[in-house]
Structure 1
Amino acid sequence: MKQIIAANKIFTGTEWLINHALIIQDGMVESILPTVALKETASKQVPLLIPALIDVQIYGAGGKLLSVYPTVESLQLLKDYCVNGGAAWFQPTVATNSNEVIHACIDAVREFKKQPGNRCIGLHVEGPWINPIKRGAHLSEFIYQPTTEQVKELLEYGKGVITMITLAPEVCDASIVDLIQSYGVVVSAGHSNADYATATKAFNDGIGTATHLYNAMSALQHREPGMVGAIFNHPTVYCSIVPDGYHVNFEAIQIAKKQLGNRLFAITDAVTDTATGAYPHQLNGDKYESNGILSGSALTMLACMQKLHQYCHIELGEAIRMCSLYPAQVIQKQGITGMLKPGQKADWIGLNEDLTLIHSVE
C-alpha cells in the first residue's frame, strides 16, 4: 500500500524540509520529495510532520498500573495511551517489587509482544538492585544487593523480554553489569548514592545511560560532585529526564542541556491512578504521588516535547530529537530509529502549528 503525506514542514530527525511529502510504501519510507515534484495527489496534508516519539519509562495507563495488573489488557491500555500521546514505541516499566510481581510483568509483556503491531520495546525493570538511601518512592522491603545467581535467574526468566535494567552501580559491581549486558539488556544507573569517582568508573566500565537526571541520585555539590557531576562530566553517557516542571525545574533542565547536549533525552515516567498494590498513586494536580511522595508524572511524550520547547526554550528540532532519536540511540533496537529516512520504518506523527497532535501512528 502506498501513501503520500504532504506537509508544510517535515523534520527528518536531522533537518527541516519545507513543502515536502513523505512517500510511504508498505509501511517503509520510500522517499521524501518536494511537493512540486509529486506526480500523484497526496493522500493527506499536515502542517508539521515529524518522527513518532519513543517512551522508555512508563508504568501504566487507564487505571491499570502494570505491576498491579500484569496483563495483556493493561499493556493494550498503555499502548493506546502512548500512541495517543505521539509515541510509536514504549518500554513498560516495573518499579522495585517482589520477584513474583516482576515475573508476572515479564509474562504479560512476553504475551503482549506476540501481538502484531504491539509497539512494545520490552520491559524496563527499575530496581530492586538500588540504593535504599536514594529509593525515592520505591519500597525498601524489596530492595537488596543481588548475587550473581539471583541476577542470572532473573535474566534467564526474562530472556528476550527484559530490555533495560536500572540499578545502582555501588550496589552491583562490574561483573554483574557485564552479565546483564551479555543478555543484550541496557544497563542504566539510577536510584544511586554513588560518589563521583564510583559513578565515573561505572560509566567508563560500560554503563551507557542513567535514569531520570537529578531525581534519586547523589547531587552535584561543590565539594562532592556526585552522580549528577559524573554524568555532566562524562563524554558519552546518556541520561533521561522527566520534563514536567515537578520532577525537575525547567531552568535545571536548561542547565543540564548545556552540559549534556545530545546525551539528554526525555521520558514520561508516567503512572496512573491506583489504590491497590505496593504503589498506590493518586493524581495531585498534574502529577502523581504515592504515600505522599512524588511518584510519577502525568506526561505523554508529546507533552514532553512541547514543554522542552516552550518552557526550556530548546529549539523544536532538538526537542523532537530528545523524544525520538536519542531514546532510539539508547535502546539500540533494529527498526526503531527515531528518524524518517528512505529504507526505514515510516513511524511519523502529524502536528498543527501549535504542536497539538492531529495524526498519530497507526
Structure 2
Amino acid sequence: MAAPQTFAITNATKIDARGIEHHFWLVSADGKIVATGSNDDDFDRAWAAVSAQSDAAQVVVDAHGAILTPGYIDIHSHGAWERSFDDGLEGIAIARAGHAIHGTTRQVLSLITNPLDVMCNNLNAVAKVCEERPDCIGAHLEGPFLALSRKGAHDPACLRDPEPQYVDRLLEASNGCIRQITIAPELPHGIEAIRRFSQAGVIPAIGHCDADYETTRRGVDAGARILTHVFNAMNGIHHRKPGPIPAILEDPRVQVELINDGFHVQNPVVKLAFALFGRRIALITDSMAATGCPDGAYTLGKLDVTVEGGHARLVSNGAIAGSTLTLEESVRRGVEELGLSAVDVVAAATEGPAHALGIDRPNAITQYPLGFLAPGYAADCIIHAEQSWKAQSVWCEGRQLA
C-alpha cells in the first residue's frame, strides 16, 4: 500500500465512543493521529508543527460540518463483490475493496468451513496478505469445530470435533494470523480446544452451538471472549433452559457480535441487544460474496446460495447463508431506522470490535491502537456525506482508501 499521508481534517462533527464534538479537527502524520481539538488557534499551531517536520504531501480537508467517525472494524465477514476471503490473494483484494469504499478500514477475514487441507491453504494466503496490508488484520475461522445441529450454512461433511491434532495443524498453518475461531464448547474436545487456542494467542468465540448455560460458562472460563452473532445458530433464551445468551450477559469479559440487517435479527431484538449488552456489542456483517452485487446465484464454500431481496439462503435447505450487509448500512439503520444513540452505534462498529481483539490499546497486531479519534490512535477515519451516514472519504492508517 502507499505511504501514509500527512493530512488534517477540520470543521467536522466528530462522533466516537467518547461522544460528540462539533467544530472538531484532527492532524495526522506517519499513519497516526497526533493532535485533535476544536479551537482554531490550537489547530494552526498543531498543523504548523507537523508541516515543518514532514516532507510528505500535505492536505487539509474541510469537512463542512459533516460527521467524522473512526474507521469501521469488521471482525466477521466472508467477502464481497463476487469474491470470498477463501479465494486467494486476488479474491481477498477484490472483496476488501468492496468493504473499504463503505468505511470498513480494518477487516478480519473470515474463512468458511472446508476440508482441513483447504482451510490450511486459505490461512497461508491470509497470512501473506496481512504481512503486506494494514487493513487486513488476521483470520477468523468459522469452523470446522461447529455443532452439526447448529451448522447453518456450513458443509456438514467438513465439521469435526476439535481434537488436539487438528488444533495444532491449524495453528501451525496460520503463521500467527488467526485472530479468532468459533467453537461449539459442548463438543467432546470443545473446552480443551478453547483453552489451547487462548493459550496460543487466538481469541476463541462461542457459537454455532447447542451449549447450555453451564457449558457456556465453562467455555468463557477456559478463554472464550466473543459470542459469535448473538441469537443466530445457538439456543434461544428459555426461562427454564437459559442457554448461552444469559451466561454471556452475566460475564463482562465477553464481547457480543450482532448482525444488524433486520433479517438475521429483527429490529425489536436488535434494540433489546443494545439495551442488554451496551458497549459490549461488536457490529459485524457476516457478509458473503454477494455483498455489493445483484440478486442471483452465488456460492459459500462449495454450497450453492440464492440471494433474493438482498437475503442469502442455501439452495439445499433454505438456511440463511450469511448476509449482504456492510457496516456502513448497519450503522445507518441503527441510527436512522431504529433510533439508537449515534454514539452507541458508532461505538459498536469501532470501539466494540477493537476491544474484542485487544487492539483498542497498544498491541502486537496493529501499529497503533484503533477505535477512537484521539492522539496516539491510528489515523483510521471516515468523513460522511453531508447529513448522511454514507462514507465519502476513508483513510486507513493515514492512507486514503476512498
> Which segments of 5 or more consecutive residues in structure 1 lack a partner in the other structure?
none
Q: Which residue of 2 aligns with 1:170?
A: 186
For structure 1, which segment, 172-181 or 262-271, has the greater mean C-alpha deviation from structure 2 after superposition?
172-181
What is the RMSD of the two structures over their aligned residues, measured on CA atoms?
1.8
Map Cα deviations across residues 15-44 of structure 1 (whole Å, 9 max, x no partner). Answer: 221112111122211111225223269811
Shift of the alpha carbon at 1:233? 3.0
Contact 1:53 1:88 in 2 (8 A): yes
- Determine what percentage of the aligned residue pairs are the same residue: 24
Q: CA 1:236–1:313 in 2, change beyond 3 Å: closer, same or farther?
A: farther
Task: Report what 1:134 is aligned to.
Answer: 150
- Kept in 2, the 8 Å contact 1:21–1:32? The answer is yes
For 1:313, the equivalent position in structure 2 comes to 339
Mapped pair 1:341 → 2:354 = no
Alpha-carbon shift at residue 5 of structure 1 (Å): 0.6
Aligned partners of 1:277, 1:175: CA distance in 2, in Å? 27
| Cα distance change, pair 111–204 in 1 and its aligned pair in 2 (3 A) | closer
- Residue equivalent to 1:284: 308
Amino acid at match of 1:2: T
Q: Which shifted more, 34-43 or 124-133?
A: 34-43
1:84 aligned residue (101, 104, 121): 101
- Is this contact kept in 2: 1:195–1:227, CA < 8 A? yes
Aligned to 2:392: 358
Looking at structure 1, the residues matched to 79 and 12 of structure 2 have their Cα atoms a distance apart, in angstroms, of: 35
Residue 32 of structure 1 pairs with residue 45 of structure 2? no
Q: Quote the residue 1:123 is aligned against.
A: 139
Work out whether residues 153 and 314 of structure 2, in 8 Å CA contact, stay in contact via their aligned partners in 1.
yes
Distance change in 2, residues 1:27/1:235 (3 Å):
closer
Separation in 1, partners of 2:135, 2:7 = 21
> Which amino acid counterpart does residue 374 of structure 2 have in structure 1?
K
- The structure-2 alpha-carbon separation of the partners of 1:35 and 1:83, relative to structure 1 and needing over 3 Å to count, comes to farther
Contact 1:232 1:256 in 2 (8 A): no
Following superposition, the deviation at residue 92 of structure 1 comes to 1.0
Cα distance in 2 between the residues matched to 1:65 and 1:11: 31
Can you give the 5+ residue segments of structure 2 that lack an aligned partner in the other structure?
49-58, 291-297
1:7 corresponds to which of 8, 11, 21: 11
What residue in structure 1 maps to residue 283 of structure 2? 266
2:229 alignment partner, one of 208, 212, 224: 212
Alpha-carbon separation, structure 2, partners of 1:360 and 1:282: 31
User: How far, CA to CA, are the matches of 1:276 and 1:294 in structure 2?
Assistant: 11
Counterpart AA for 2:9: I
Letter in 1 for 2:356: V
The letter for the 1-side match of 2:306 is Q
Could you state the TM-score of these two structures normalised by the residue count of structure 2? 0.85
Q: State the distance in 2 between where 1:340 and 1:282 align.
A: 40
Q: Partners in 1 of 2:299 and 2:326 — Cα distance? A: 22
Contact 1:58 1:271 in 2 (8 A): yes
Q: State the number of aligned residues.
A: 359
1:63: how far off? 1.1
In the other structure, the counterpart of 2:56 is: none
Could you tell me the TM-score, scaled by structure 1's length?
A: 0.94
Q: Which runs of 4+ in 1 moved over 4 A?
A: none
Cross-structure match for 1:61: 80
